[in-house]
Amino acid sequence: MNRRQLATEYTPGLTTVISTPKKLVVDIIYIAGQLRSTSTQLLLVMNEVTHVLTKVNKIVEKRDQTHGNFDDNLTMIANLWGTYLGVEISAAQVANCMTMLKIARSAFNPTADDYLDMVGYSAIAAALHEKKNK
């Protein structure tokens, strides 16, 4: 693989080609700057994701206070739905169905709350799965 191929493979969008030792130093400094910029952008995205997850955690905790423990609440819903439909349904399946409900609603008029609820129900389903498989 030649220098141009290496430069383009490891630094997409980089148009300079390393041709002399002096240019190599300049290019390394340039690449380091690009990596620093990319790292900063990644940190900003991760901060946004962390903010959303923190927000979802607060919502789940609040719902726990107003609607009771999510496990108990979803188990009760599963029993009601199971009786109505004549099939056995688990609390995790209720959480998955609620996630799908939010996905369907967001197809027509998406709101930030829909996405927060999707994450919340998915997190609850994951917690129920972990609890079941301990």
86-123 pLDDT per residue, tens? 999 999 999 999 999 999 999 988 888 999 999 999 99
- Identify the sign of the CA torsion 43, 44, 50, 53: negative
Give a yes or no: residue 81 inside a domain: yes
Query: Which tokens in the block code for residue 9?
Result: 């493979």
- 74 and 18 share one domain: no
Distance separating alpha carbons of residues 18 and 6, to the nearest angstrom: 10
- 30 and 79 share one domain: no
Task: Output the CA angle 105-88-57, nearest 5 degrees.
Answer: 45
% of the chain exceeding 90 in pLDDT: 31
Distance separating alpha carbons of residues 87 and 94, to the nearest angstrom: 13
- Identify the sign of the CA torsion 74, 70, 49, 117: positive
Give a yes or no: residue 48 inside a domain: no
Contact 70, 64 (CB under 8 A): yes
Average pLDDT over residues 81-87: 96
- 72 and 111 share one domain: yes
**Tell me, what's the pLDDT at 84?**
96
Domain residues for the domain of 84 are 68-132
**How many structural domains are present in the chain?**
2
Give a yes or no: residue 16 inside a domain: yes
Give a yes or no: residue 117 inside a domain: yes
- 73 and 121 share one domain: yes
Kindly give the residue spans of alpha helices, DSSP state H, lying in 68-90. 70-85
Give a yes or no: residue 55 inside a domain: no
